[in-house]
Structure 1
Amino acid sequence: MSNYIRQIKKNVWKWENENGLFSVKKYPTVEHAEKIRIIHQKLQQIDKSFVLPVLESAQEDFIIQPWFKGTHPVDYGTKMDRLEVFSLLEQLHDTNKSINWDNQNLLQPFDLYAKWQNRSLKMKEISYFVEFYLGEKKTRMLLHLGDIALKNMQLFNKQDNTILHGDVVHHNFLSNEKAYKIIDFDLAVIGPKEMEEILWMHRVLPAINYDIFLLISEFPMLEKVASKHKEALMYPNELYREWLYAYALPMERKQKFIDQLIPYTNKALTEWPKLCYNLSRL
């Protein structure tokens, strides 16, 4: 077998040697890599096949895993992928029945409200940048949506904490048509599972034209979460994150990204009143 290594991202490589095909990821600190290693070890101890094993490495700031062959990121616009990914998240969250994640001294507590407060403040700081592309009226609406949602958000019950993946973007779930796996626990934290369910709904809604009733018809267990945390679902989290990301991009990449972000934003702002109205009916 050939022996080669190819860089995939700045800190990720695809490595083939006599033993097979592997992904190799370098972490900024040994402590960060150790966090990932322990999470995988604990999940594998309770036989959770939705994660890939972590292999031993002489370099402690590297994580080496078998390459998941023939895979592609999931598509939240596809019902099967939505069903499978939500099942994976349920399995992950249910591990608190076997693992007391609170007592591991491994994961930081997650405060969604504080994170969103900070994100709203950052959006206001770059409002001049957003206004240049969206105009004053749409920018003002975008900021107002965040303020109203934060003002009325219900608190989350933190009595039943579990591990949260921390980044439920579609490309952190891989499928090869036979199996689905969760990857990249870099941002894993602890908190109530409802927080991650809210964040997952935020990720999925743009892919289904913001149809909250469709989502609830597929996942009836989410109706209670959506009903209790309507304001959290009204917070324009995806839009804020994307505009903050656009602002931070280097000039040579900024315009191409913004050319895609403007229609995405216009679509969201058009659908938002209907989404809010439908949430009010729950």
Structure 2
Amino acid sequence: MSTYIRQIKKNVWKWKNENGIFSVKKYPTVEQAEKIRLIHKELEYMEKPFILPIIESTQEDFIIQPWYKGDHTVSYRFKEDRKAVHLLLSQIHDTNKLVDWEDSNLFYSFNLISKWQNRKWKMNEISFFIESHIGWEQTKFLLLCGDIALRNMKPFNMEKRTLLHGDVVHHNFLSDSSDYKIIDFDLAVIGPREMENILWMHRVLPEINYDIRLLIHEFPHLEKVVRRYKEAMMYPNELYREWLYAYSLPKERKQKFIEQLIPYTNKALTEWPNLCYTLSKL
């Protein structure tokens, strides 16, 4: 059997040996790797584990796991995938009934509003860059949406905290013909589940033409979250993150990314007034 090790990212390798194929990830600190081990240790005892096991290693700052090859890419465009992913997140959030995550001192308490205030401040700093690509009026509207949302945003109840995955992008969920798995707990934090539900809905909305009523119809229990945190739903988080990322890219990658970001932005800003109106009427 052939063996090889191939670098996938700066700190991730695909390793094939006589025992199979594995993912190998190096963490900046032992404490960060220990956080991942703790999460997997607690979650692997669930009735139907939805994580990949960790292979024991003498290197404390490395995490080794079996390489999982799904048969389709999870996409929030598909109802089946939306249902499956949200179920996984709900199962993670429910673990606070069994696990005292805060007792480990490996997680920090996540404050979404503080993060969004900082993100809006950074957007103001690069407004000249955004304006050069989408024009003054669109840039002004984009920044105004964040200002209004932050000004009226209700605080979250920080007393009811649980484990949050921290990065609910679709490619952190893997699927084969019979199962779904969740990976990459690097950004896992402690916080109220409502925060992650809102971040997840922000990820989903662009894939369903910003139809918030459709999302509530599919997930009726989220209506209470949407109603209470309307302003958080109105915050253009996805657009802010993508423009900040575009600004940070090296010149050779920047232009290609922006060519995709501009139509995405125009679509979002076209739909935003209707989204905010619908939210205000709930």
- TM-score w.r.t. the length of structure 2 is 0.98
Distance 1:156 1:74, change over 3 A: same
The letter of the residue matching 1:209 is N
The question of 1:85 aligning with 2:77 is answered no
Instruction: Give RMSD over aligned pairs.
Output: 1.0
The letter of the residue matching 2:121 is L
Alpha-carbon shift at residue 159 of structure 1 (Å): 1.9
Alpha-carbon distance in 2 for matches of 1:108, 1:70: 32
The equivalent of 2:138 in structure 1 is 138
The equivalent of 1:104 in structure 2 is 104
Runs of 4+ in 1 over 6 A off after TM superposition: none
1:16 partner SS: strand
Superposed CA deviations along residues 139-164 of structure 1, whole A, max 9, x for unmatched, are 00000000000000011112211000
Alpha-carbon distance in 2 for matches of 1:14, 1:148: 45
Higher mean alpha-carbon deviation, 70-79 vs 82-91, is at: 70-79
The letter of the residue matching 2:222 is L
Alpha-carbon distance in 1 for matches of 2:48, 2:102: 19
1:262 partner SS: helix
The letter of the residue matching 2:101 is W
The question of 1:50 aligning with 2:50 is answered yes
The letter of the residue matching 1:117 is Q
Alpha-carbon distance in 2 for matches of 1:134, 1:72: 34
CA contact (8 A) 2:120 2:240 kept: yes
Q: Which runs of 5+ in 1 are unaligned?
A: none
Superposed CA deviations along residues 101-139 of structure 1, whole A, max 9, x for unmatched, are 122212100000000000000000000000000111000
CA contact (8 A) 1:46 1:98 kept: no
Alpha-carbon distance in 2 for matches of 1:205, 1:165: 19
Alpha-carbon shift at residue 96 of structure 1 (Å): 0.6
2:220 partner SS: coil
CA contact (8 A) 1:73 1:172 kept: no
Alpha-carbon distance in 2 for matches of 1:89, 1:207: 19
2:81 partner SS: helix
- TM-score w.r.t. the length of structure 1 is 0.98
Alpha-carbon shift at residue 46 of structure 1 (Å): 4.0
CA contact (8 A) 2:70 2:174 kept: no
Percent identity, please.
70
Higher mean alpha-carbon deviation, 52-61 vs 105-114, is at: 52-61
Superposed CA deviations along residues 25-65 of structure 1, whole A, max 9, x for unmatched, are 11112221111111111212445511111111121111000
Matched pairs, number: 282
Q: Which runs of 5+ in 2 are unaligned?
A: none
CA contact (8 A) 1:165 1:188 kept: yes
Higher mean alpha-carbon deviation, 7-16 vs 41-50, is at: 41-50
Alpha-carbon distance in 2 for matches of 1:12, 1:106: 22
Superposed CA deviations along residues 62-88 of structure 1, whole A, max 9, x for unmatched, are 100011123444100000000000000
Task: Please give the residue correspondences for 1:1-282 in structure 2 after superposition, counting only pairs within 5 Å.
Answer: 1-47=1-47, 49-282=49-282
The letter of the residue matching 1:114 is S
The letter of the residue matching 2:208 is I
